[in-house]
Amino acid sequence: MKPLSQKLWKTGLSLLWGTAIWLFWKIVYPAHLQYHEQYQLFLSDMEYWRERIAIPGGWADYTGEFLVQFYYHTWMGATILALLFIGLQLLTWKLAKRQGTSEMYYPLSFLPAIAVWHFMCDENAMLSFVVALLMALAVSYFYTFLHTKWKRAMYVLVCFPLLLWMAGATHLIFMGWIIISELHICFRKRKFLQGIGIMVGMFALKATCTLLTSMQVQNPIYQLNGFLGYYRFPAVIPQIEMTIILLFIILPYLLARLPRTHKHVSVYMALQSMALVAISYPYIISGCNFSKEEAMEYDQLARNRQWNQIIKKAENKSPVSPLSVTCLNLALSKTGQLGNRMFEFYQNGTEGLIAKFQRNFVTPLPT
């Protein structure tokens, strides 16, 4: 494949990727965007800013919350997510390219971002995770341009603590990149002790940064590593977060180890793209909860007092979840139709009037 054809192919894939993300969040899963916007109040004063940046990962939290306020308009939220996910994929590819990856493996650079997409379908996954990933990938990418030892050492000593404080747990991506790249260089030159020394030094630097952080922030040690703002429940660290971080560390190096030549490059890239679509579609859908999406849609219409829209939606497809039925009955009551039309639709007992208490963030507002 000629260089121009390769460039057009790669550009086309990235544009299709961004378009797919935009269509998904705008058409398939829009209520989740409005749900996130509904559960935060972003303030533009200095006190709010200081409160956010006072913890590890606070800069990513603040940036994510700033962007989430635009979710009020779903097309803007979908555009923001599309741009951020394109950034994740492009930075992954640039890191792989810096390691010498062949152009024909471009479709495989989408794999980590697909895993992030799956995770973001969880209504409790916060946008700060995506922002923090971009920070860590950008810092790692600039690290690859430093060729002298003292420059790399100074860069690490300055950027590592800053990244831990600004981005949180995704600093592990940068840490992993340093260890793998330096070990690769040392082992290639047969300087095994130097490589082990660098690895020990990185773990010592991480332990020192964590210890200094614990003197400023009163949180458990595992949270001080940065797992504070990525999930709505601070005490919960989903396993997929660490899986994604490991994927961003390892994949670019794995791609660089694949064969660099192939007789039919265009066919090979097309097959990779089709396999990627076949695998990613069921994987992303498996992360979706469409019953919650329906409940959030009804909740959004109820918050905006669009009673006739709620009834019209129920006429097309009768709701079955308790929250959706609650919103429908409220709409029937507000329009004076509850007594006449209530039993035209599915009713799930008393929960259709007052939803059963659940310890989550979805039920309180419709109730």
**Most distant pair of Cα atoms in the chain: their distance:** 84
Q: Looking at the structure, do residues 322 and 263 belong to the same domain, yes or no?
A: no
Instruction: Judge whether residue 38 has pLDDT over 90.
Output: no
Tokens 């660089």 found at: 256
Q: Among 248, 269, 289, which residue terminates a domain?
A: 289
**Averaged pLDDT for residues 203-232:** 76
Q: Looking at the structure, do residues 102 and 143 belong to the same domain, yes or no?
A: yes
Name the domain count of the chain.
2
Q: Looking at the structure, do residues 304 and 284 belong to the same domain, yes or no?
A: no
Is residue 357 domain-resident? no
Instruction: Judge whether residue 1 has pLDDT over 80.
Output: no
**Averaged pLDDT for residues 217-233:** 72
Q: Looking at the structure, do residues 161 and 82 belong to the same domain, yes or no?
A: yes
Buried b (16+ CB within 10 A) or exposed e, 242-269: eebbebbbebbbebbeeeeeeeebeebb
Q: Looking at the structure, do residues 191 and 262 belong to the same domain, yes or no?
A: yes
Helix axes 3-23, 265-286, angle to 10 degrees: 10
pLDDT tens-place string over residues 22-37? 999 999 999 889 888 8
Q: Among 289, 314, 339, which residue terminates a domain?
A: 289
Q: How much is the pLDDT for 269? A: 78
Q: Among 260, 289, 318, which residue terminates a domain?
A: 289
Is residue 362 domain-resident? no
Q: Looking at the structure, do residues 201 and 331 belong to the same domain, yes or no?
A: no
Q: Is residue 96 a contact partner of residue 251, using CB atoms and an 8 Å limit?
A: yes
CA distance 340 to 327: 17
Q: Looking at the structure, do residues 7 and 18 belong to the same domain, yes or no?
A: yes
Instruction: Judge whether residue 260 has pLDDT over 80.
Output: no
pLDDT tens-place string over residues 284-337? 999 888 888 888 888 888 888 888 888 888 888 887 777 788 888 888 888 887
> What is the extent of the structural domain holding 321?
291-352
Instruction: Judge whether residue 364 has pLDDT over 70.
Output: no
Which residues share a beta bridge with 125? 231
Q: Looking at the structure, do residues 189 and 313 belong to the same domain, yes or no?
A: no
Q: Looking at the structure, do residues 278 and 315 belong to the same domain, yes or no?
A: no
Q: Looking at the structure, do residues 117 and 159 belong to the same domain, yes or no?
A: yes
Is residue 182 domain-resident? yes
Q: Looking at the structure, do residues 308 and 168 belong to the same domain, yes or no?
A: no
Look at the chain and count its residues.
Answer: 367
